[in-house]
């Protein structure tokens, strides 16, 4: 038998680790290869997937009010790609902004988007920072003493556990000269809205979920048959969390990095958590991380919140 070709040893290591647990898991961060990123883009315009369009609506309707949070000579620091329409809505409203720092783990993506923004906003100093905000947020020396407003949109925070979210918010609160944080957070709502948002009728989210297995096959030489796993979205009431799973449709075995992984029919791989919040749980997170909630801006149906945190003591 030929030895499978492994091009991503970190992915192989993490997958072996996750798939050897009682509840098999794969980490959601691995969704975003080129194909996965394109599928996520497609998800954001699905009729069932309300978060992106709702957050954009809130940002548009309250752009000036949010932009007024920028302190004089402030740096606007965004966690995430900075590629999006959301960034531009706020950049357009922040007429006095001189320095914009997108922070992202993917260097190529960052540089490409930074170049694009420099042409669109010639007066703006775009300073991309390649970093994993889950481990370290180190700013260039020239920016350390400048006042800062942080932007963390998209309910990306929802992927984090409660403890991880509080740890991140605490680290953001302790950035030198930080004055505020604009956070996008998705709210708890009835399951007849939540479940279809994560299990759409046209099957795009299912393809996004199964693409993890396609990626594992390509980058670790595994031999998953993606069609033999069914996409499922579940609501965990206690955790206020949507869980995505890939459920094995039969007893089967998969080879991965020299190991054989057995699946019983009906056994699942847990692939993502997407936490949903309430005004109370957001207030509690703020308290636990040293932030003050200044405003909680919502759409009329209260599906999504853009929360304005201030560092005021």
What track of x and - describes contact with ligand AVJ for positions 34 through 73 (by CB under 6 A)?
---------x-------x----------------------
Part in contact with ligand AVJ (CB under 6 A); list of ranges 74-82, 125-133, 149-157, 305-313: 149-157
- Exactly one of 125, 156, 249, 292 binds ligand AVJ (CB under 6 A); which one? 156
Q: Which residue is nearest to ligand AVJ (CB)?
A: 274
Phi and psi torsions of 143, nearest 5°: -100, -10
Torsion over CA: 204, 208, 211, 215 (sign): positive
- Nearer of residues 128 and 158 to ligand AVJ, judged by Cβ: 158
Round to whole Å and give the CA distance between 16 and 6.
13
- Exactly one of 158, 180, 221, 257 binds ligand AVJ (CB under 6 A); which one? 158
- Nearer of residues 64 and 161 to ligand AVJ, judged by Cβ: 161
Round to whole Å and give the CA distance between 15 and 25.
8
Is position 91 an interface residue for ligand AVJ (rule: CB under 6 A)? no
State which of positions 175-234 bind ligand AVJ (CB under 6 A). Answer: 198, 205
- Exactly one of 81, 84, 155, 268 binds ligand AVJ (CB under 6 A); which one? 155
Is position 154 an interface residue for ligand AVJ (rule: CB under 6 A)? yes
Residue 54 CA, chain-centre distance (Å), reads 16
Is position 113 an interface residue for ligand AVJ (rule: CB under 6 A)? no
Round to whole Å and give the CA distance between 211 and 34.
10
As measured in angstroms, the least distance from the Cβ of 78 to ligand AVJ is 15
As measured in angstroms, the least distance from the Cβ of 251 to ligand AVJ is 28
- Exactly one of 87, 159, 248, 268 binds ligand AVJ (CB under 6 A); which one? 159
Round to whole Å and give the CA distance between 49 and 47.
6
As measured in angstroms, the least distance from the Cβ of 294 to ligand AVJ is 23
As measured in angstroms, the least distance from the Cβ of 271 to ligand AVJ is 9
Part in contact with ligand AVJ (CB under 6 A); list of ranges 139-147, 148-156, 220-228, 292-300: 148-156
């Amino acid at each position: 038998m030929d030895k499978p070709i492994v091009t991503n040893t970190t992915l192989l290591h993490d997958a072996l680790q996750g798939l050897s647990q009682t509840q098999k898991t794969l980490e959601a961060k691995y969704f975003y290869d080129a194909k996965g990123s394109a599928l996520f883009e497609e998800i954001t315009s699905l009729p069932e997937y309300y978060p992106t369009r709702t957050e954009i609506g809130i940002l548009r309707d309250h752009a000036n009010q949010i932009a007024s949070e920028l302190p004089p000579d402030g740096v606007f620091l965004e966690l995430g790609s900075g590629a999006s329409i959301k960034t531009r809505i706020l950049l357009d409203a922040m007429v006095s902004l001189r320095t914009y720092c997108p922070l992202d783990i993917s260097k190529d993506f960052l540089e490409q988007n930074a170049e694009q923004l420099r042409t669109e906003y010639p007066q703006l100093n775009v300073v991309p920072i390649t970093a994993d905000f889950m481990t370290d947020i180190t700013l260039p020396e020239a920016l350390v003493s400048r006042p800062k407003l942080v932007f963390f949109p998209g309910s990306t925070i929802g992927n984090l556990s409660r403890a991880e979210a509080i740890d991140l918010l605490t680290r953001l609160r302790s950035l030198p000269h930080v004055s505020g944080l604009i956070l996008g957070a998705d709210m708890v709502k009835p399951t007849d809205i939540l479940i279809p948002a994560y299990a759409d009728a046209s099957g795009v989210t299912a393809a996004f979920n199964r693409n993890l297995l396609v990626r594992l096959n390509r980058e670790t030489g595994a031999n998953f048959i993606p069609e033999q796993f069914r996409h499922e979205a579940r609501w965990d009431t206690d955790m206020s969390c949507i869980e995505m799973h890939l459920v094995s449709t039969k007893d089967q075995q998969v080879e991965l990095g020299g190991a054989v992984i057995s699946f019983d029919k009906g056994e699942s791989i847990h692939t993502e958590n997407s936490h949903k919040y309430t005004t109370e749980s957001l207030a509690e997170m703020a308290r636990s991380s040293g932030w003050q909630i200044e405003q909680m801006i919502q759409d009329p149906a209260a599906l999504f919140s853009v929360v304005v945190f201030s560092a005021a003591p």
